[in-house]
Structure 1
Amino acid sequence: MTRIVIVSNRVGPLTDTGRAGGLAVALVDVLRERGGLWFGWSGEVSEDGTYSPLRLYEDGNVSTATIDVAQADYDEFYAGYSNRALWPTLHYRLDLTDFDRRLEEGYRRVNERFASRLVPLLRPDDIVWVHDYHFFFLGETLRAAGVENPIGFFLHIPFPVPEVLTALPNHKDIVKAMLAYDLVGFQTSQHLSGFERYLLEEVDGERLEDGSIAAMDRRVVADAFPIGIDGEAFSTFHETTEGRENFTLMRSELETRKQIVGVDRIDYSKGLPERFEAFERLLELYPEHKGEVSLLQIAPPSRSEVRAYTQIQRLLEGLSGRINGRFSDLDWTPIHFITRSFPRRALAGIYRASAVGLVTPLRDGMNLVAKEYIAAQDPEDPGVLVLSRFAGAAEEMREALIVNPYSIDELAEALRRAIQMPLEERKERWTALNAKVMTNTASNWSRRFLDRLVEIHTPAEADG
């Protein structure tokens, strides 16, 4: 059977996937189904860096191969260009983008080194699937090395409109490199549209009869493949030991009160300050909710070496302290701000105990928390999902309360509506949302992408 080779910055665990993120679980499932190799960074920084010995691990028909990076690689490739240039630009935060040529050169260097380490591991009939913004140039480098295998690329975060992307000094190089892939996948039709607009408007591309686009002496097929979760499995997590413990703890603490829950990494794209301010506005406008509704925000830190992330954490700590100082009572605290992570089974119990799921990023690729919250609900007494219109999930999950996260008043009104929503309406909305979560699963997502990649791959055209 044809082997799947997955390339991503971090390689997830092949065992104990109950603690892994939804994407890692999806990729492990497809690897086990078809057999394959997962290649990426070990998570270690060493003197040998990308020249380090391969760290190999095998489990049945699935194996992982990882390499280290050097400190300069980490500083320039990961903390640098990936997270100080690409991440903010693709999330529409040009005010935070660092246009540093040295970082760009480090990014290109690491892409080339990863490609050179991957080539000897490839077999003639492998299907290569590259993931996310860390590896825009990997496919182009593989093609230059003579790799003729089907190579697909999936971007998990937003792809912006040309008016934003062109702020990157090397935007044309990035898009040209993406055209070395046979198939480029995006989370939503809006992200796809941004990519296609760039090709058609910025570099005079041409849409061909088969739907592909020819541009810059290459041809590519691009489409939207919204990612899902394993809804059936997640819907049972509240029954596990961790799920039951957290559900019972939440319900005993809350008693008759209602809880709003948010689960996000600390990141300026997640809209967390706006969320805190909207909850404060809810208490200002509707004082009857004082003592009756609380906000639990779980937000583990990330990328602490990037200054913008430490600044957002300090801002959130200040906001939660001020709001709690203003509204707290002896037996009630408005905001519980927890900066550590929880395993997915524990989160299922927390979601189920929460009357409102608050998912309000300022910009997001998909946001699987929205889908996990729905999957965890009690069908007889489901909670309400409040969802940002700028989350990729909003394109599918129209039955949620869709909000503009930049409007504090609109968000506060949506919270009030969610808290007061009658059971019949809650059930109706949840039933429609849950059907989508159970249908568009992670497994279906990966099959759709890989089947399409095999279908359209033609080696004579792949390298332009």
Structure 2
Amino acid sequence: MSRLVVISNRVAVPSKDASANQGGLAVALLSALREHGGIWFGWSGETTEHFTGEIHRTEGDGVTTATIDLEEQDIDEYYNGYANRTLWPLFHYRIDLTEFERDFAGGYKRVNERFADTVLPLVEPDDLVWVHDYHLIPLGQKLRDRGMRNRLGFFLHTPWPPSRLLVSLPSHAQLVESLFAYDVIGFHTEDWLDSFRRYVVDMMGGSLGPNDTVTANGRTVRAIVAPIGIDTAEFEATTLSDEARFTKERMYMSSTGRSLIVGVDRLDYSKGLRERFLGYERFLQNQPDRRGLVYLLQIAPPSREKVNTYQEIRADLDALSGRINGEFADMDWTPIRYVNQGYPRPQLAGIYRAARVALVTPLRDGMNLVAKEYVAAQDPADPGVLILSSFAGAAAQMKAAVLVNPYSAEELADAIVTALAMPREERVRRWQTLIDGVRREDVFWWCALFLDALEDARVREPA
């Protein structure tokens, strides 16, 4: 079996207690690394005055990690700049928030070259190399330029935008062409894959071939759908832990008999939090008899706090939640509990289990694993109801959820009414369909699906 080299912007540090605080992606990749052997390489999260390429290696729980420090300018231009102010909004269809700065593009190119230079000596000839996400799209080409012939895979964790949006990126042609350095490219959904194919055919004069292959400019890559899942068995077990049980009881005691509606999202404009608050407000306006009987707990830990757009989101949501609470709250009831901090996975599992309804309503999302975690946390005899955006990647797999248009406050309000009034028999039927899929197509299924495709790829001949 070939070794595995995982490359991503950030690296999960392995530990025996990893599953308590790490998401499903980290758990799956650490498991794959233990099975195959190999290295997880990426940025340490630390800065250095001058980039040296020094690699910090750690060994733990059967996994080796290797990280490098970046200069402050690298972080400003590559991470805060091109990754999070150019590609992230563009890939989430927010061209109005996309910033096109030459310095950002320069930093993105420079850091990808630094990754290539420093990881190359760590890679053995038979290794499988798996690159992750929009931060490192050009890395495969940088590695090929340096003589790498290994089987190279790339997985995109975000949506892939339609051509009419992607062409607004000044370097769109070079970015897409660099993907053809990989042997296998993975997308969460058929929609994102189709957008990629359409660009290749319409903008590059490429063609589609058998076995999911796409060819352009004399180079062929296999492009597949591989929807990521969660570590379902682990999360179901976590839900039954003492910490999760205590958290669930704590939620019941604090709710004083009211139905809990929960939302758990990183503080990001792609998550549709403003639209969610407005939909919940419409529910309160349309259903005066239900006021005081429900409350919304929105957990939204901050992210990318150095980016101005995110500071504006936080200020907007602070004001909006305050206005809604000011208008509808009573002396013993607050309609929205808005919390800007994260919680360990066992506590989240307990919150999910206590919630009658989950609102997972992003405006655009590559997948959304909160939806799957919520389903995995439910009591089989009395499950809650998942309200899911039609624009989340998870909607393609989770059609038994209550699917909504997150832009419509009226539709979201109606969905909340439907979820709260849903009979137990229907809730159980919907949940059973959902949990069957979440168990079947878990994160290990996803990992095996992609790596099997990469194993099948032919090692490239010398140029």
Q: TM tier, shorter chain?
A: over 0.9
Residues 1:233 and 1:211: Cα distance change in structure 2 (over 3 Å): closer
Check if 1:406 corresponds to 2:407. yes
Question: Which amino acid letter does the alignment assign opposite residue 139 of structure 1?
Answer: G
The range that moved more, 234-243 or 72-81, is: 234-243
Residue 166 of structure 1, CA deviation: 0.8
Deviation at 1:289, TM superposition (A): 1.1
Cα contact 2:166–2:172 (8 A) shared by 1: yes
Partner residue of 1:47? Answer: 49
Gap regions ≥5 residues in structure 1: none
How far did 1:59 drift? Answer: 2.1
Secondary structure at the residue paired with 2:13? coil
Q: 2:461 aligned with 1:460, yes or no?
A: yes
- Aligned residue number for residue 431 of structure 1: 432
Aligned-residue offset at 1:233: 1.2
Deviations 1:77-113 (A, max 9, x none): 0000000000000000000001111110110010011
Deviation at 1:52, TM superposition (A): 4.2
Q: CA deviation at 1:213?
A: 1.4
- Contact map agreement 1:225 1:448 (CA 8 A) in 2: yes
Aligned to 2:150: 149
Of the three residues 24, 31, 35, the one matched with 2:26 is: 24
Aligned-partner residue type, residue 26 of structure 2: A
Matches for 1:29-428 after TM superposition, within 5 Å: 29-49=31-51, 51-59=52-60, 61-428=62-429
Q: Is the 8 A contact 1:397 1:433 kept in 2?
A: yes
The whole-number CA distance in structure 1 between the counterparts of 2:44 and 2:256 is 45
Quick check: 1:13–1:20 contact (8 Å CA) kept in 2? no
Counterpart AA for 1:27? L
Q: Does 1:8 align with 2:8?
A: yes
**Deviation of the 1:60 alpha carbon:** 5.0
| AA partner of residue 151 (structure 2) | P
Counterpart code for 2:213: S
Q: Is the 8 A contact 1:238 1:247 kept in 2?
A: no
Q: Could you tell me how far apart the structure 1 residues matched to 2:246 and 2:388 are?
A: 27
Structure 2's unaligned 5+ residue stretches are: none
**SS of aligned partner of 1:337:** strand
Amino acid at match of 1:46: T
Deviations 1:20-61 (A, max 9, x none): 122111111111122120000000011133x24211101254
Q: TM-score, structure 2 length as denominator?
A: 0.98
Q: Tell me the distance in 2 between the aligned counterparts of 1:338 and 1:354.
A: 16
- Counterpart code for 2:69: D
Name the SS of the counterpart of 1:309 in structure 2: helix
- The offset of 1:255, in angstroms, is 3.2
Partner-residue secondary structure (3-state), 2:66: strand
Shift of 1:137: 0.6
Conserved in 1, the CA contact under 8 Å of 2:267 and 2:314? yes
Q: In the superposition, relative to structure 1, how do residues 211 and 226 fare at CA in structure 2: closer, same or farther (>3 Å)?
A: closer
Which segment is superposed worse, 162-171 or 211-220? 211-220
SS in 2 for 1:167: coil
What TM-score, normalized to structure 1? 0.98
Alpha-carbon distance between aligned partners in 1 of 2:209 and 2:446, rounded to the nearest angstrom: 25
Offset at 1:210? 4.0
Deviations 1:145-190 (A, max 9, x none): 1110100000000001111111111100100001100000000000
Q: In 1, distance between residues paired with 2:27 and 2:227?
A: 16
Inter-partner Cα distance in structure 2 for 1:114 and 1:242:
40
Q: Is the 8 A contact 2:34 2:63 kept in 1?
A: yes
RMSD: 1.1
What letter matches 1:30 in structure 2? A
Could you tell me which amino acid in structure 2 is paired with residue 374 of structure 1? V
The answer on whether the counterparts of 2:150 and 2:459 sit within 8 Å (CA) in structure 1 is: no
| Alpha-carbon distance in structure 2 between the residues aligned to 1:102 and 1:209 | 40
CA distance in 1, matches of 2:209, 2:160: 22
Displacement, 1:370? 0.1
Cα distance in 1 for residues equivalent to 2:44 and 2:55: 9
Amino acid at match of 2:147: G
Show structure 1 runs of 4+ deviating over 2 A.
208-211
SS of 1:159 mapped into structure 2:
coil
Task: Give the whole-Å Cα distance in 2 for the aligned partners of 1:219 and 1:75.
Answer: 34
Offset at residue 316 of structure 1 (A): 0.5
- 1:238 offset after TM fit, Å? 2.1
Distance in 2 between the 1:457 and 1:293 partners?
A: 57
For 1:304, the aligned partner's letter is E
Kindly provide the CA deviation profile for residues 403-422 of structure 1, in whole angstroms up to 9, marking residues without a partner as x.
Answer: 00001100110011001111
Q: Quote the Cα distance in structure 1 between the aligned partners of 2:161 and 2:47.
A: 32
For the Cα contact (< 8 Å) 1:297–1:337, is it kept in 2?
Answer: yes
Return the letter of the residue paired with 1:172.
A
Cα distance in structure 1, aligned partners of 2:238 and 2:289? 34
Distance 2:209 2:194 in 1: 16
The residue type equivalent to 1:2 in the other structure is: S
Q: In structure 2, what is the Cα distance between the partners aligned to 1:75 and 1:450?
A: 33
Q: Which amino acid aligns with 1:13?
A: V
Query: In 2, are the aligned partners of 1:36 and 1:61 still within 8 Å (CA)?
Result: no
Task: Give the SS at the match of 2:455.
Answer: helix
How big is the shift at 1:208? 2.5
The separation in 2 between residues aligned to 1:256 and 1:393, in whole angstroms, is: 31
* SS of structure 1 residue aligned to 2:46: strand
Deviations 1:302-326 (A, max 9, x none): 0011000000010000011000011
1:3-34: CA deviation from partner (whole Å, max 9, x where unpaired):
10000001012113210122111111111122
Partners of 1:48 and 1:68 within 8 A in 2: no
